[in-house]
Structure 1
Amino acid sequence: MAHSHSHTPASDSNSNSKRLLAAFVVTATFMVLEVIGGLISGSLALLADAGHMLTDAAALLFAFLAVYFARRPPNNQQTFGWLRLTTLAAFINAIALVLITVLIVYEAFVRFYHPQPIAGKTMMVIAVAGLFANILAFWILHRGSEEKNMNVRAAALHVLGDLLGSVGAIIAALVILWTGWTPVDPILSVLVSCLVLRSAWRLLKESVNELLEGAPKALDIAALKRNLSRSIPEVRDVHHVHIWLVGEKPVMTLHVQVIPPHDHDALLGRIHHFLEHEYHVEHATVQMEYQPCSGPDCHLYQSTPDAHHHHHH
């Protein structure tokens, strides 16, 4: 058995937490302004958007705390550290987004049948200001490694939903100012909700897969077994392969049946090198065996026959 490890640079999570905190400050500050504007103008749309921003601010704070906890070192109890906390935060975020969307759609139907008077000018001013606040928050979150971090992505999705909400509010305010037709407000809010729901659903699927110890979607285990036995002639069979994600880092264990090597460590090094360079698996535990797999569940893990083609010469 052997291990190989490496860790994400701290600077990455450091910039993530700084960006999340900055976006939180922008969102929370504007949310307060929006509540005041909504109360002055009597616009329910603005108050509803302020509610949306409240959940955003909570999501950003949550994501910030999760990134902060993820930096804490592993210990004897939490052997992987607190990396999974970020996945849990993304999962809760996604559920919150789905619930908010359902509430917005319900409210929109009520408003469609019972239109409310709306102060178009005030709504317009606040909606434009909201758009700028959201663009600023989105820009802060998008400068850097957000593709790698599910949490920063979850936070950016919240802000993007808000940004679309602001655009919708501006269009609605324009229509109300020009024509006085108030049902445009709920109609646009439903369209925006559909976009938010799509993103939330994707995020929910990703985080659930990670929480259920699922293999990364992009990784084909059958192909990995074939490629490993093709690339390293001494490898006869690969079985008991388990791969899962911890805070978006792949972790892997596998049993490898090999021809007894002259140099055990060199062969092990080649297997690790293959996993790291071909599949970006930096943390792998490899058990090398000289006998064929002989357990009741071996057939579940056997490589496909064509993986052995170079052993039959």
Structure 2
Amino acid sequence: MDTSTHGGVEQYNAKLMVTFCLTLVLFLIEVIGGFVSHSLALLSDAAHVLTDLLSTALTWYALKQTQKPANRGMTFGYHRASVIAAFGNTGTLILLSFWILGEAIVRLFQPEPIAFSTMIGAAGIGLLINLIIVFLLTRGEANLNIRSAILHFIGDAAASIGVITGAIVIHLTDWYPIDPILSVMIAFLLSWNARKILKEAIHILMEGVPKEIDPLDVIEELKTIEGIRDVHDLHIWGVSDEHVAMTCHLVIQPTMTIEKAQHTLDGATELLRSKFNIGHPTLQLETESHPHHEGLLHGENAADPPHAEID
């Protein structure tokens, strides 16, 4: 689904509203269950669910912001709001993992008895709710913002499975250290899941080249258009994970007519849109005699790096 369309936005708004309500119910269940059962793993997961509540609200807010039109103060619009939300969501996951790790270390040296039925019951409800939420949010395509929210709930589902497993082990063996050990595993799971999206969000905020685009390929394709002799001062960056912008100078033949130059410009714009999904290209036409300062990439220097790696 393309969330840039009105129908897509409304559909995701409804999904996020349902997600928020289900997450609130889950938070209350796990907090009560964690205190009653004395389970750190369950309370750790409840703390994570609290960040899910915040991230869901942030995701919804960012989705609304991206639909606001561009204006004199924000000429690119508000598309970066979704990237900032993804950055915030994954950042809270990493901070939360450190908190859980600290609490787990304390509990390793001071284990507490666990109420089996309460622990497994709350975790079972949590698993069911998280699976419903993941199912809702994964229907159709999702931008970076939605994907970061999905990661939150996948992590919750995995954590619930861990808590259920721990409750069974404690019930069968009376080995209570499994509870903080599971908390440590949950912490590592959260931080690992957040790492990739956090790197992608940072890459966009640093105006890096989208990983699916090789600037050298862009240069070579543009030079196949009749009348374009060279390309320089090329800059490509993601406004968001769905919108790509680009600027460059196209060197054309000095004898080219205005009509032919316009035709060349139209052909270059269409090529960038169709082949590279660059929706906002800004192209400057000039002749070889026009002085210019080279940017990072240009058409004659094959030694330039193709693009920054973010994987």
TM score, norm. by length of structure 2:
0.90
1:118 and 1:74, CA in 2 relative to 1: closer, same or farther beyond 3 A?
same
| Residue in structure 2 matched with residue 261 of structure 1 by the alignment | 256
Shift of 1:17: 2.5
**1:95 Cα deviation after fit:** 1.1
- The corresponding residue for 1:37 is 33
| Alpha carbons 1:23, 1:138 under 8 Å: kept | no
Partner of 1:138: 134
List runs of 5+ in structure 2 lacking aligned partners: 303-311
Q: Show the counterpart of 1:159.
A: 153
Aligned residues: 296
Is structure 2 residue 294 aligned with structure 1 residue 301? no
Which residue of the partner structure matches residue 187 of structure 1?
A: 181
Whole-angstrom CA distance in 1 between matches of 2:221 and 2:265: 16
Alpha-carbon distance between aligned partners in 2 of 1:175 and 1:233, rounded to the nearest angstrom: 71
TM (norm. structure 1) is: 0.89
Q: Which moved more, 1:159-168 or 1:214-223?
A: 214-223
Alpha-carbon distance change, 135 to 274 in structure 1, aligned in 2, over 3 angstroms: same
Contact 1:214–1:244, Cα closer than 8 Å, also in 2: yes
1:170 is displaced (CA, Å) by 0.3
| Aligned counterparts of 2:45 and 2:10: Cα–Cα separation in 1 | 30
Offset of 1:186 from its aligned partner? 1.8
Counterpart of 1:72 (choices 68, 71, 78) is 68
Q: 1:266 to 1:244 in 2, by over 3 A?
A: same
- Give the counterpart of 1:93 among 89, 93, 108: 89
Amino acid at match of 2:127: L
Residues 209-230 of structure 1, C-alpha deviations (whole Å, 9 max, x = no match): 111111112211122112221x
In structure 1, the partner of 2:165 is 171
1:27 matches 2:20: no
Question: 1:104 and 1:299 mapped to 2: Cα distance?
Answer: 46
Q: Give how far 1:108 is off.
A: 1.7
**Aligned equivalents of 2:60 and 2:4: distance in 1?**
17
The structural deviation recorded for 1:121 is 1.4
TM-superposed deviation, 1:33: 1.9
Return the structure number with greater relative CO, CA threshold 8 A, min gap 6.
Answer: 1
Which of 187, 191, 200 is residue 197 of structure 1 equivalent to? 191
2:169 partner SS: helix
**Superposed displacement of residue 192, structure 1:** 2.9
Aligned equivalents of 1:92, 1:299: Cα separation in 2: 32
CA contact (8 A) 2:210 2:237 kept: yes
Q: Deviations over 1:64-88 (max 9, x none)?
A: 1110111111111111221111111
Q: Which residue of 2 aligns with 1:311?
A: none
Q: Distance in 2 between matches of 1:274 and 1:240?
A: 18
Q: Displacement, 1:301?
A: 3.5
Q: Which amino acid aligns with 2:134?
A: F
CA contact (8 A) 1:261 1:267 kept: no
The answer to whether the Cα contact below 8 Å between 1:16 and 1:152 also exists between their aligned partners in 2 is: no
Tell me how large the CA RMSD over aligned residues is.
1.8
Alignment match, 2:226: 233
What is the one-letter code of the residue matched to 2:194? A
8 Å Cα contact 1:240-1:255 kept in structure 2: yes
Unaligned segments of structure 1, at least 5 residues: 1-6, 307-313
Higher mean C-alpha displacement, 132-141 vs 252-261: 252-261
Verify: 1:52 aligned to 2:48, yes or no: yes
Distance 1:293 1:207, change over 3 A: farther
Partner residue of 1:281 out of 271, 278, 281:
278
